[in-house]
Amino acid sequence: MQFHVNGFKPGDPDILPAAPGHRRPGDPLPETVDVLIAGSGPAGLCLAAQLAQVPQIRTMLVEPKAGPMEKGQADGISVRSMEMFQAFGFAEKVMRESVWINETTFWAPGEGAALARVARVQDVPDGTSEMPHVLINQARVHDMFLDRMRHAPTRLAPDYGVRVAGLAVDPAAAEYPVTVTLEHTAPGREGQTSTVRANYVVGCDGARSAVRGAIGGTLHGDAAHQAWGVIDLLAVTDFPDWRMKSFVRSKDEGILMVLPREGGHLVRLYVELDRLGEHERAADRGMGAEDIIAKSQRIFRPFELQVKEVVWWSIYEIGHRLTDKFDDVPDDQVATRAPRVLLAGDACHTHSPKAGQGMNVSMGDTFNLGWKLVSVLTGRADPALLHSYSGERRAAAKGLVEFDHKWARVVGARAEDDAADGLPRVAREFVNNLPFTCGLTIQYERSALTGAPTHQHLATGFDIGKRFHSAPVVRLADAKPMQLGHCIEADARFRLFVFAPAQDAGGPGGAVAALCGWLEHDPASPLRRHTAPGEDLDAVIDTRAVFQQGFRALDYGAMPTLLRPRVGRYGLCDYEKVFCADTQRGEDIFAARGIDRAAGCVVIVRPDQYVGHVLPLQAREALAAYFGGILRVRG
Ligand code: FAD
């Protein structure tokens, strides 16, 4: 991380200087805001944590509960979400606090119907990501986002005890076209209402979303008519895999999943309970924690399970549902108006918790939306950019709902479904599905944001439309070994990674110097066209270069000036733009990501860490055209 750029500041560098005029706790509700977020779940908080960084964006987050969540709900963090957490600056904290899922085991009736371990598989295949798959209470993830909001320049905090009761959009209004009715839920204020006018409203208000209802959206789909119990507990057991993620299938009592949790002692069980009638809700059965425990004990036999403390439990039925559109613009009006109300997370897609995707996909939604809203609200992009949100994320959610359908059936598979090779069907499918459950199969379709694969051969390991797959490098200026992807922060900026051809050392006459010279000085350069007067040249598009030589073979002082920019009020040098292959440890990014060594290339990475394009170093018109299709001319 970089700090002290505008002068030495003592103390915690994660706490950024406060912007003048920010709201303080206890201040009255504002009359107008740029963005009103409904709901402080993972979707709402992930969005708020991005918007909070931008002093000129006035954001408000309303939540009917009295305060932050303490326990319960989701706990699975995919490797993809961990990569995203890295951009927010709290991946290391989560890695320290969470339990890592490295191995998954499968149990089924063996000789004499006693349970036996019948398979075990590696949970995250080698080379998938530098990040682990972890489990941690959803509430702790909320805390990390809340910290980031609290320490951002706007010092954003949720308004608890307030819910969205309704809203109306006036498409003709240029300013604050969404009028939101808020209802107070705090003791003593129940039923009181207030009105706020907003430029944008984002409904992150869960499966029963009031925002979705207000724009006429409905969830379509079906239910599996099967009740499940989930319980977080502290217990004593002789089941050997209590600290492994395990699928347990008993002979006659059904199935459960064991999920070890953070702290070394806590464990979550997902337990198959009763079949439900066509129109029956799980809640109608009146089941409780004791039913989940009793069923678990029967499934675990002959192992013992002595429960010492029940921390949290819930009973639910599986539903796979998706809404038609993630914004308020009907298809026939897309050409004439931009979205004003958008939906994210469970408000627009629901699925079973067993694939561990609910929290991940919800945060993925608002990581996609956050930079787009920042770009529009800071004048960098036209509001039409917001149309891309529903298209990209609905396709991702549709893939999840379809996967979840399939997976729910597989988890429920019986012995007769197992293959002749003895491997349970659930284990086989589990392995096949790992790229999906890691969150790595999303590939955005070709669009203004996702270029054509014409030059994909120049970097075969950076799939256009998929997330940027980080790899090790060494930073030239201080010889620090690190992950290249870790220089991507959740700051709404694009990254331009320039991979140098073999003999290029950055000096004059080389392809890197020629490209950097054009980017820095030419009026047609996207850096010049899309950066506003007075902004740093990397404020919108941040250029970094990676060379094939080891760091001792390169001269930092010979690098193009674009890669050694002067920043801040003292004009200090930014030393963190140039990297080399990690030849010392043999982890060469050029080999690992299939980069053409003779030609080099440019890889454009979107602010949400997805690869936008791969282009030759000389393709200046195509480079300019890519950004011209997304960003406004401001230079
Ligand atoms: P949510 O986390 O549901 O957050 C929505 C927020 O909006 C809530 O804080 C809610 O209070 C608030 N809200 C509601 N109405 C309004 C309104 N009118 N105005 C403003 N705010 C409003 N996933 C798993 O993987 N495993 C589990 O065991 C599991 N258990 C769950 C148990 C419960 C009871 C619930 C509700 C969900 C559970 N999930 C579980 C799902 C998982 O938590 C969600 O997929 C994930 O939290 C989705 O995030 P979100 O931000 O979209 O919605």
Q: Which two tokens stand for residue 392?
A: 């990209």
Query: Which of 133, 185, 273, 359 to mutate for ligand 1's pocket (most ligand atoms within 8 Å of CB)?
Result: 359
For residue range 35-52, what is the model confidence (pLDDT) as tens digits?
A: 999 999 999 999 999 999
* The pLDDT value given to residue 616: 98
Q: Ligand 1 in contact with 39 (CB < 6 A)?
A: yes
The closest-lying atom of ligand 1 relative to the alpha carbon of residue 65 is 11
The closest-lying atom of ligand 1 relative to the alpha carbon of residue 365 is 52
CA-proximal residue: ligand 1, atom 26 (nearest): 74
- Give the closest residue to 346 by CA, choosing from 206, 202, 201: 206
- 38 CA distance to ligand 1 middle (Å): 12
- Euclidean distance between CA atoms 588 and 525, whole angstroms: 30
Query: Which of 70, 73, 266, 342 to mutate for ligand 1's pocket (most ligand atoms within 8 Å of CB)?
Result: 73
Predicted TM-score (pTM) of the model is 0.96
Listed as own residue / partner, the contacts of 590-595 with beta carbons closer than 8 Å and 24 or more positions apart are: 590/499, 590/548, 592/461, 592/471, 592/472, 593/459, 593/460, 593/461, 593/462, 593/469, 593/471, 594/459, 594/460, 594/461, 595/458, 595/459, 595/461, 595/499
Q: Which two tokens stand for residue 415?
A: 């012995």
* The pLDDT value given to residue 332: 95
DSSP for residue 459: B
Q: Ligand 1 in contact with 38 (CB < 6 A)?
A: yes
Q: Ligand 1 in contact with 439 (CB < 6 A)?
A: no
* The pLDDT value given to residue 222: 79
Largest alpha-carbon pair distance within the chain? 78
Terminal-to-terminal C-alpha distance of the chain? 28
Measuring CA to CA, how many Å separate 148 from each of 22, 35, 84? 15, 18, 14
- 204 CA distance to ligand 1 middle (Å): 9
- 358 CA distance to ligand 1 middle (Å): 9
* The pLDDT value given to residue 419: 59
Q: Which two tokens stand for residue 88?
A: 């927010």
The closest-lying atom of ligand 1 relative to the alpha carbon of residue 43 is 51
* The pLDDT value given to residue 585: 86
CA-proximal residue: ligand 1, atom 33 (nearest): 73
Full set of structural domains in the chain with CATH: 453-628 (3.40.30.20)
- 41 CA distance to ligand 1 middle (Å): 6
The closest-lying atom of ligand 1 relative to the alpha carbon of residue 347 is 52
**In the Cβ-directed half-sphere of 528, how many Cα atoms lie within 13 Å?**
11
* The pLDDT value given to residue 468: 98
Q: Which backbone phi and psi does 215 adopt, to 5 degrees?
A: -105, 15
Amino acid present at 422: G
Q: Which residues of the chain are modeled with pLDDT < 50? A: none
Query: Which of 62, 281, 346 to mutate for ligand 1's pocket (most ligand atoms within 8 Å of CB)?
Result: 346
